[in-house]
Amino acid sequence: LPSGVLIESFLSSGVLLELFLSSGVLSEPVMSSGVLFEPALSSGVKSEPVFPSGVLIETILSSGVLLELVMSSGVLFEHVMS
């Protein structure tokens, strides 16, 4: 994860976003913490315009919210390993 390789590959594939949006796990903490998915969801746009810029992702990763969520739930790694 520190190398950013896994994160980049999942963000570019859109797997991470779809996984968490569909599960509803990510949206609540992110919405309450601020800016992230609200603009994307309200516009109906998902990964394409949001993630290539990397700005929102860097904000979440640096805050540790996303990683803690993923690590504790184990959802991401189960999906990755399968």
Q: What is the pLDDT of residues 34-62, one digit of tens each?
A: 444 444 444 444 444 344 344 455 555 55
Q: What are the CA-CA distances from residue 12 to residues 22, 32, 34 (Å)? A: 17, 25, 23
pLDDT at 77: 47
Say how many domains are in the chain: 1
Q: Report percent pLDDT > 90 for the chain.
A: 0
pLDDT at 7: 54
**How far is the first Cα of the chain from the last one, in angstroms, to the nearest whole number?**
18
Domain that holds residue 65: 5-81
pLDDT at 11: 57
State the chain's mean pLDDT as an integer: 49
The number of beta carbons lying within 10 Å of the beta carbon of residue 46 is 15
pLDDT at 62: 55
CA neighbor of 56 nearest in space, from 36, 27, 76: 36
pLDDT at 76: 46
